[in-house]
A and B are shown apart, each in its own frame.
Chain A
Amino acid sequence: MKYVTANCGAVAVGLAFGPIVPEFVSAKPGLIDYVEIPFEQLRHSPESGSIQETVPVILHCASMSVAGFVPPGDGILKAIEREAERTKTPWIGEHLAFITAEPIEDDRTQPTSLTYTVCPQMSEETVERVATNMASLQKHFNVPLILENSPQYFDVPGSSLSMVDFVSAVVERCQVGLLLDLTHFLISMLNTKKDPMSEIDRLPLEKVVEVHISGLNVQSGVAWDDHAEPAPPLVFDLFERVMARVRPKAVTLEYNWSPQFPESTLVKHLDRVREIVRN
């Protein structure tokens, strides 16, 4: 098994696990430093963990509902704990979002469980809730949890903070590392009509541990996350802006939705990331 090793000052470049990754890793050994794999993938298809025989793994997660009001079950937490220990991941990236919520009908005892994380209400109340949840969740793991900014597709009622202010408040309140998803960030800026280039400077970039890069598309009047599309130039502009100020530990390209994602684009974007990291 391969494990991520501390490499002082070097920025590791990796790929999010997806249908093209196992073949790509075999065909081009050494081109990437790690694969980021979701806990949920390992849980439902344990065989996908064999990728770690070829390349180190960083664990990602979407099950802890960090910004929610329904805590994950002990079974889930134990399973994440096991995967964190087995993979020897240097950290666990989790969404600053919720994936479960209380039932709306009083006679329903089961919470509503979704399959996709949702941007929470961005308010002081949620910041406090995230702090409480993080304090409780972090105890389960020997490695740090870091939080990934959500894409904002609609105004969540009761929100009193902008995306940048919310993320900043959470990072400040929880003293937690940031998984800065640049595409989520750009989507949020486009959907809330804010200038991404000036807003990115307001984020606590010194807390960025890992960066995510993926594609987006605009449909039905909204910008959407799209891991089947290559990142647009503006995402790379934002990446350059971030790299001018900080050195994250890892940069992950998330091109993991389509088995037809062009290998030439993948290689080109890996080169582009490495070039920006070098400069």
Chain B
Amino acid sequence: MIASRVHAIVAAGLENPELLARWKQEPESLRAYGLDPAMFDLDAIWKFAGLSAKVKHNGLRFDLPLTFRFLSLNGLEIEVFGSYASHKARAGIRYAPTAEGRIVELVDFLRDWLDFDKTEHSLLWDLIRHEAALAQLCKRTPSPRRVRVPHIAGDVILHQMTCDPRVLGKLLRQKSFDPSRVQRRVVHLCYWNPGDRGEICILELNELGYHLLSLVDGKRALADFNRLLGGKTRISKKLMDAFGELARVGVICVHPRKSAANK
């Protein structure tokens, strides 16, 4: 079998894993290149494409160290990155040029690809969103706003998780990791960059607080929230208390901040 032809086929399949899928479906098409399809282990070449894609994403390890550790410990790297390489090839899209862009794209891919019935996949989804939220907020500088309706003080990212990713992170840092030790529960997290403290806070919210915060857009007034939640003319005490709690923590402002007004 002519070496240059073999190299050409292997390289083409690695560059575009979609070709590997096509050849797998129609093995005889390889004969058009003068090659015996039985000689090619297309699955193995596909896995190698996964390794290659993984290595291309080494730059993300700065921001996603626990995600990579989780992938490695659970033997998911080749499967995830092989599938990701195929997805990109199918869509005909190159990887984003920046680490920030690559994180966003990887998260988008996983949202559709993961099988949330599998514990490892659910945990991975929690973990990557956790690390991605921290990385994204670190790079943003929220500007103060002056509006008279409830608004976010700084910048937030909200995630509903199936475990507490902070606990998962601690377990991953231990010498041996056992996914069955991760306590599964619904956790509502608010990743908050207050803008003036140089750090990202993680707030665990109750369900009402989480949903209220997801609706705070700097346009709706308290009365609008009341209507949205089925209230009538009088704003309910429950709603006032929830807003009061969020304001007490500092994640929302109900009135313009004095410091912002003075700037």
Query: B-contacting residues of A (Cβ < 8 Å)?
Result: 19, 68-69, 98, 100-104, 112-116, 118, 120-121, 123, 125-126, 129, 153-158, 217-220, 222, 224-226, 228-229, 257-260
Give the chain A neighbours of B2 by CB distance below 8 A: 125, 158
Residues facing A in B35-62 (CB within 8 A) are 35-36, 39-41, 44-45, 47-48, 50-52, 55-56, 58, 61-62
Known contacts A98-B11, A258-B68; is A69 also within 8 Å of B47 by CB?
no
A220 to chain B: closest CB distance in Å? 5
- CB pair A153–B3 under 8 Å, yes or no, is no
**Is B72 within 8 A of A228, CB to CB?**
yes
CB of B2, distance to nearest CB on chain A (Å):
7
Pairwise interchain contact A258-B61, C-beta atoms closer than 8 A: yes
Q: Is the CB of B7 within 8 A of A68?
A: yes
Q: What is the minimal beta-carbon distance from B209 to any residue of chain A, in angstroms?
A: 33
- Contact B44–A69 (Cβ < 8 Å): no
Establish whether residues A112 and B8, one from each chain, have CB atoms under 8 Å apart when the complex forms. yes
B47→A259 contact, CB < 8 A: no
Closest beta carbon of chain B to A232's beta carbon, Å: 14
Which residues of the partner chain B approach A260 to less than 8 Å between Cβ atoms? 61, 65, 69
What is the total number of residues of chain B having a CB less than 8 Å from a CB of chain A?
A: 42
On chain B, the residues within 8 Å of A115 by CB distance are 52, 55-56
Q: Which residues of A contact B50 (CB under 8 A)?
A: 220
* Chain B residue contacts of A225, Cβ below 8 A: 51
**Smallest distance from the beta carbon of A184 to chain B beta carbons, Å?**
13
Give bound CA distance, A123 to B82, whole Å.
28
- Does B6 contact A103, Cβ atoms closer than 8 Å? no
Q: Is the CB of A69 within 8 A of B4?
A: yes
CA distance A69 to B77 in the complex (A): 31
Question: In the assembled complex, which residues on chain B have CB atoms less than 8 Å from the CB atom of A98?
Answer: 7, 11
Q: Closest CB-CB distance, B32 to chain A, in whole Å? A: 9
Asked if A104 and B8 make an inter-chain contact with CB atoms under 8 angstroms apart, the answer reads: yes
CB distance from A125 to the nearest CB of B (A): 5
Alpha-carbon separation in the docked complex, A95 to B158 (Å): 46
Which 7 A-B residue pairs are closest in the complex by CB-CB distance? A158-B1, A154-B44, A101-B11, A157-B39, A69-B4, A112-B11, A116-B52
Q: A115-B56, A129-B3, A220-B78 are in contact. List 19 more A-B contacts (CB 8 A).
A: A68-B7, A69-B3, A98-B7, A101-B7, A101-B11, A113-B15, A115-B52, A116-B55, A121-B3, A121-B6, A125-B3, A156-B10, A219-B77, A222-B47, A224-B51, A228-B72, A229-B72, A258-B58, A258-B65
Residues of B at the A interface (CB closer than 8 Å) are 1-12, 14-15, 33, 35-36, 39-41, 44-45, 47-48, 50-52, 55-56, 58, 61-62, 65, 68-69, 72, 75-79, 82
Query: A101 contacts B4, CB within 8 Å?
Result: yes
Chain A minimum-CB-distance residue to B173: A260
Query: In the bound complex, do residue B61 and residue A153 qualify as a contact, i.e. CB atoms below 8 Å apart?
Result: no
Q: Once bound together, how far apart are the Cα atoms of A69 and B40, in whole Å?
A: 19
B6: chain A residues within 8 A (beta carbon): 121, 156-158
Give the shortest distance, in Å, between A50 (CB) and chain B (any CB): 20
Q: How far is the CA of A114 from the CA of B69 in the complex (A)?
A: 26
Given contacts A153-B47, A154-B48, A257-B58, contact A217 B72 (CB under 8 A): yes
Q: Give 12 CB contacts A-B under 8 Å.
A: A102-B8, A104-B12, A112-B15, A114-B15, A118-B11, A121-B1, A157-B1, A157-B36, A158-B6, A220-B50, A228-B72, A258-B58
CB contacts (< 8 Å) of A226 on chain B: these are 72
Given the contacts A98-B11, A114-B14, A156-B10, A222 and B3 also touching, CB distance less than 8 Å: no
Which A-chain residue is minimally distant from B50 (CB atoms)?
Answer: A220
B35 engages A157 (CB within 8 Å): yes
A100 vs B15: C-alpha distance when bound (angstroms): 10
Residues of B within 8 Å of A126, CB to CB, are 3
Complex CA distance for A68 and B4, rounded to whole angstroms: 7
A126 to B9, CA, bound (A): 16
Residues of B with C-beta under 8 A to A121: 1, 3, 6-7
Choose from B40, B56, B65 the contact partner of A157 (Cβ within 8 Å): B40
How far, in whole Å, are A129 and B10 apart by their CA atoms in the complex? 18
Tell me the bound Cα distance from A255 to B36 in angstroms: 39
Query: What is the CB-to-nearest-CB distance from B79 to chain A, in angstroms, rounded to a whole number?
Result: 6
In whole angstroms, what is the CA distance A224 to B55 when docked? 11
Q: Which A residues are in CB contact (< 8 Å) with B56?
A: 115
CB distance from B104 to the nearest CB of A (A): 20
Shortest Cβ distance from residue B144 to the other chain A in the assembled complex, whole angstroms: 33
